[in-house]
Amino acid sequence: MRTKLQIIISALMILSVALAACGPSTPAAVTPVTVIETREVMITPTPAPEGPITITFWHIYSEAEMNMLEDTLIPKFEAEHPNVKVQSVQIPYAEFRRKLLTAISGGTAPDLIRSDIIWVPEFAYMGATVALDELMPDFEQYANSVFEGPLATNFFNGHYYGLPLDTNNRVLVYNKDMFKAAGIEAPPTTLDEFLADCEKIKQLGEGKYCYADYGTYAWAVNPFIWSFGGDITDPNYTVSTGYLNGPNTRAAYEFLKKLVDEGYMHPGILGGGLDAWGGFGNDEIAMILEGPWFPTIFGTEKDYGFALMPAGPGGHISVVGGEDIVMFQQSQHKEEAADFIRFILSEDSQVAMASVGQMPVLKTFAEPGSPIDLDFYGIFFEQAKTARARTPHPNFTKIEAIYQNAGLAYLRGEQSFEEAFNAAVAQIDPLLKLEP
């Protein structure tokens, strides 16, 4: 009797697994109630053809930005498009690219993402994304309404694989309390003044740092390289020899090394942990480079000011950041996804996102009569005029890792500039050449 019962139970277990695996096409056999229940739980419901379509949108918005998106913008879009539901998925920056690539290789990429501008060429080169200039008949209209710099980050091999969603750049944020204590009246406008101010800030005593950043990656070092007139590659991104190891880039790294050696720079740039915002708030760090999200997240209680990236021989050149909205080939609802792109680039949506710290990309917003707060965004629009984008290349991640390590080895004093950077360009040059 017991054996029979065991056979029945095990048979039911197998049947339930098999049914769950087969999906909705399995006919409901004459089976006990328990099996039917299991089946109901485990099958993913297939949406009926007439029901609402869901488009998935992955992003890295901060809390306030995400609330604006989910509580205001998406409901508005869904009201305008009753047939479409937008599923917003927030993923931390550090995990975003890996998670996305896993999804792409599994054939389950989201319809749309808010992509770091630096990833767009890589996705396009892989053939994962949709050329929006081919898909959207009204693409020109949108392309003409946005800033050219951010738009250019979408261009790869003759096509535009996205549209800019928001832009940003790094400007100098200075700690007014520390400047006052050190007797400095105005923020530095040149890198020479920057160095002189650092000397004064060092006089404030032990544990006071003039400047801090988290490492030697592109976002951190490129503003210095460009402001010294150096570069990573030639303007066409085909070769780094003579640029990354050139004399102007060298001057930039020597400047950074001086900051480290003199104790002006927080040692966190060499690795080992740093809380730059905490240090800034506690009057331990006098200057950082930050983007327009800073006040929203850091708060406005502390007394600080904004200034342009201090100028060197190459000008006061900062780094362009920001995000593009990108559509994936694996999307089943490209038309609806394109509608969402049009919606999110509308003036109203851009104003809404600007109110929570997202710097808009519409050209008209930089002009007088702008619907957004130019008192605040003005400095970023000003910096945007000269700010430049990091190497827009499918191999950017590898290229960046190479010069990040070279810079670190040099700043730590383990290798001379020639040793570190001649080796770096030898590795980077082959990466710049793409197989068709």
- Rounded distance between C-alpha atoms, residue 316 and residue 191, angstroms: 9
User: Should residue 47 be labelled a site residue for other proteins when binding is judged by CB under 8 A?
Assistant: no
Q: Could you identify the residue written with the tokens 């708060």?
A: 299
From 49-57, 101-109, 167-175, 250-258, span contacting other proteins (CB under 8 A): 101-109
Q: Which residues pair with 321 in a beta bridge?
A: 168
Residue 10 interacts with other proteins (CB under 8 A): yes or no: yes
φ/ψ of 113, rounded to 5, equals -135, 155
Name the maximum alpha-carbon separation found in the chain.
93
Among 35, 69, 128, 366, indicate the residue that binds other proteins (CB under 8 A): 128
- 325 C-beta neighbours (distance < 10 Å), count: 22
Quick one: which of 36, 126, 186, 196 contacts other proteins (CB under 8 A)? 126
Indicate which single residue of 186, 385, 398, 426 sits in contact with other proteins (rule: CB under 8 A).
398
Verify binding: residue 27, other proteins, rule CB under 8 A. Answer: no
Question: Which of these segments, 6-14, 174-182, 316-324, 381-389, binds other proteins (CB under 8 A)?
Answer: 6-14
Report how far apart, in Å, the C-alpha atoms of 4 and of each of 9, 29, 355, 365 are: 9, 21, 69, 77
Say whether residue 332 binds other proteins (CB under 8 A): no
Decide: is 181 part of the binding site for other proteins (CB under 8 A): no
Q: Is the distance from CB of 333 to CB of 53 less than 8 angstroms?
A: yes
Contact 239, 426 (CB under 8 A): no
Q: What size, in residues, is the chain?
A: 436
Q: How many CB atoms lie within 10 A of CB 433?
A: 9
If binding is defined by CB under 8 A, does position 207 make contact with other proteins? yes
User: Could you say which of 24, 82, 127, 430 contacts other proteins (CB under 8 A)?
Assistant: 127
* Region 283-322 residues binding other proteins, contact defined as CB under 8 A: none
Residue 106 in the binding site for other proteins (CB under 8 A): yes
Say whether residue 416 binds other proteins (CB under 8 A): no
Residue 222: Cβ within 10 Å count: 26
Contact call for residue 105 and other proteins (CB under 8 A): yes
Residues of this chain that interact with other proteins (CB under 8 A) are: 3, 6-7, 10-11, 13-14, 17, 97-98, 101-102, 104-107, 126-128, 207, 267, 270-274, 397-398, 401, 405, 408-409, 412, 414
